[in-house]
Structure 1
Amino acid sequence: MQHLVGMHDASWQAMYDGILGEIFPSAIDIPHNVATNSFAPNVESVLALEPDLVIQWGDNGAAIIDPLENAGLKVAALKYGTQDDVARWIALFATALGRPDRARELNSPISAALKTLSAVGRSAPKPAPKILYFNRFEGGLKVAATGSYNDFYIKLVGGQNPASGPHGAPGTGMVGVDIEQVLSWDPDIILLGNFDAAMPDDVYQSAVWRDQTAVKTRRVYKVPLGGYRWDPPSHESPLMWRWLSMVAFPQQQPFDLGAEVRTSYKRFYNHAPTAAQLAQILWLKANGASSGYRQFHA
């Protein structure tokens, strides 16, 4: 963290809400007023931090990069959306920090996990459960449609995404939908992302959703929040893949996800989470009334 002098507010919020702020308490004090919600840079704030390198999204147009470069800042532009993109980020950051060995240390286990979970997904029971991911639930519904990262990992573990394909949501990526559309899909499993505060009880207690299969079978889950949100692609994604596989197919061979989190976090952050931190990461209380979640208490 000693190399990081500023960050976007959304990243800071995830760190504050999750356990990264506990692992690295000084990170809470890192300035996070460097850009708007749409990533338009606050150039004055960035210049005040005197950074050697600024990381910015490279696929959102020149309007969010040019002001930084015009101010004389060195900018690395990142492409976003896939696990391959993450591997390239890790390699880029490791090179910038003079630690190419660190890139190999982080990327090799991700590649191995992808092979393992691909095999698990191919052997998953059929028919595949319909798994619907909500990027936003409060104040308007937004789901992961065709081409989204969430669509990728739903299919990876052996599920099907009703918001994807010819009968799915219109458009690609994160798409706004109405309640009637979701009711017509009738998902078997509902995932609530970490980009708003919606919890399983909000769904269970609503008369709007009570006839949905996922509600009647108690299969609504809040996605874990670790060092970062597990929803989008990151170095923690293999943990998300395994968690979702266990949620979707609780009858499969038992797996100690807690032990895997501890091993991974030791590699990522040189920190083994406590029992209380594991409970926080996995939302054991919020997901406690959902079907099959006892397996994560082991």
Structure 2
Amino acid sequence: MVKKVGKRKGIALTAILLALLLAGCGASAPAEPATPAQPPAAEPAAASEESMAAPRVIVDQLGREVELPESIDRVATDRILPFPSVYFLATGTAEQIVGMHPASKSAAENSMLATLAPEILNANTGFAAGDEINIEELLKLNTDVVYIRAESGQIDLYDKAGITTVAIGTTGVAAGDSLATINSWLELLDQIYDLDDRAKGIIEYGNRAEADIAAAVSDVAEKPRAMMLFNYTDGKPIISGKGFFGNYWLNATGAIDVAEDDLQGQSPVDMEQIYRWNPEIIYITNFTELMPEDFYNNTIEGLDWSQIEAVKNGQVYKIPLGIYRWFAPSGDTPLMLQWLAQKNHPELFTYDMSQILKDYYLEYYYYSLSDEEVEKILNPVREAAQGI
């Protein structure tokens, strides 16, 4: 396990020893300023087993061998936006997080992470904006490790500055399979920290939920046609397609992804394409400020959603936000599977989602959710998309 001992403890110990030495001199101390004492000559101390151990080297999700510092007391995360919440999940604290992306912080401020780990709100965000990283500002944070998005293509930027980085993959890890992605992140963190039992329990819960849902929907003859609206930029909706998280979510929970055959990853589309797809259900992520009422009231400038089946039938849903935005991999990924399965097939999944949330948070986050907090998770606010 990586030591959690910081530099300040060594300074404090030196001060104590110096105080004891001066106290032992008592009244016999010389009148003139004393010359600092020189340590007596001695045989070199035998190296401890720990000091002789090889440096800790892990393999990150770019396949790089990364030598980690002996102590990891200060970390930052760049545009790997869900990672602060996953770090908390794995380590049980966010105290070491001194820097993170503004979009991570806006999620934290409007999520349960701020309640479970309020120290996360002290993290600095001034080094990042959009896809840009200000290395000079990041260096001021004096980090031991920076967790970076593997697909960003910015490794050289950090390397030239002498910053130790661990690359975390997103859609490239498992072709957009959210459950496999979060499991891989936790397995990587297990190389660095001793994982809390709850993290391992969440992996097991998620695998079980995925299998149970797959079995339940396997014989369904008619599956709903659904669409994941990831973002909204420059007057166009950004839709999730094949190989992106939205595609996994829909396939895993018994829906037909209307964009699967036409889009790879995420892409802007025009309304004519959406008319052709005519989804029966629309899911809106927390990476956009758009809300269901914007579609029902047809107030999105320049776009007419009123003829889309999902809008006419009142099946436009904002994806929840708990420990993090549920669209992305997070500690709440198993809950996203259950929530989506119930929306897609309410006749099959009749469980009480509010109670499932309460049981899950008590079991894995050691926290008893109030009714108001459950409501906040299931109905997130627009502000949670700020900083994107």
TM-score bracket for the superposition, by shorter chain length = 0.7 to 0.9
The answer to whether the aligner puts 1:251 opposite 2:340 as a matched pair is: no
Corresponding residue for residue 185 of structure 2 = 89
**Does 2:126 match 1:36?**
no
Equivalent residues of 1:94, 1:103 under 8 A apart: no
Structure with bigger gyration radius = 2
Following TM superposition, by how much is the alpha carbon of 1:27 offset from its aligned partner in structure 2, in angstroms? 1.7
Match of 1:68 among 155, 158, 167: 158
Q: Counterpart of 1:5 in 2: which secondary structure?
A: strand
Of 144, 147, 167, the residue aligned with 1:52 is: 144
TM-score w.r.t. structure 2 length? 0.67
User: Does the 8 A contact of 1:130 with 1:161 survive in 2?
Assistant: yes
Whether contact under 8 Å (2:319, 2:326) holds in the other structure is yes
For these two proteins, the number of residue pairs brought into alignment is: 278
C-alpha separation in 2, matches of 1:271 and 1:111? 22
For the pair 1:239 / 2:332, whether they are aligned, the reply is no
Conserved 8 A contact 1:141-1:176: yes
Matched, 1:127 2:219: no
- Kept after mapping to 2: 8 A contact 1:21/1:28: yes
Partner of 1:196: 288
Letter in 1 for 2:280: D
What is the aligned-residue identity percentage? 27
Gaps of 5+ in 1: 287-298
Say if 1:100 and 1:73 are closer, same or farther in 2 by CA, change over 3 A: farther
Deviation at 1:215, TM superposition (A): 1.4
The CA deviation string for residues 221-272 of structure 1, in whole angstroms up to 9 with x for no partner, is 1111111000122221111111111111112241122222223223443222
Q: TM-score, normalised by structure 1?
A: 0.86
Q: Report the 3-state secondary structure (helix = DSSP H, G, I; strand = E; otherwise coil) of the residue aligned with 1:131.
A: strand
Q: CA deviation at 1:22?
A: 2.8
1:289 alignment counterpart: none
Question: Is the Cα–Cα contact under 8 Å of residues 354 and 374 in structure 2 kept in the other structure?
Answer: yes
- Of 28-37 and 72-81, deviating more is 28-37
Task: Give distance in 2, aligned partners of 1:17 and 1:51.
Answer: 26
For 1:77 and 1:185, locate their aligned partners in 2 and report how far apart those are by CA, in whole Å: 37
Task: Check conservation: 2:202, 2:334, Cα contact below 8 A.
Answer: no
1:99 corresponding residue in structure 2? 195
1:182 equivalent in alignment to 2:277: no
Range moving further from structure 2, 254-263 or 10-19 = 254-263
CA 100–276 in structure 1, closer or farther in 2 if over 3 Å, else same: closer
Is contact 1:146-1:173 (8 Å) kept?
yes
Task: Give a deviation string over 1:139-175, Cα, whole Å, max 9, x none.
Answer: 321101111111111011111011111xx33xx1111
Which residue, out of 347, 362, 365, partners 1:269? 365
Structure 2 gaps of 5+ residues are 1-93, 172-176, 383-388
Contact 2:342 2:349 in 1 (8 A): no
The 3 A distance-change label for structure 1 pair 52 and 41 is same
Decide which moves more: 266-275 or 188-197: 266-275
SS in 1 for 2:151: coil
Name the aligned partner's letter for residue 227 of structure 2: L
CA shift in 2, pair 1:285/1:86, >3 Å? closer
Once the two structures are superposed, residues 4-42 of structure 1 have per-residue CA deviations (whole angstroms, 9 ceiling, x without a partner) of: 11111111111112232233323222112232311x432
Q: Indicate if the aligned counterparts of 1:94 and 1:102 stay in contact, CA closer than 8 A.
A: no
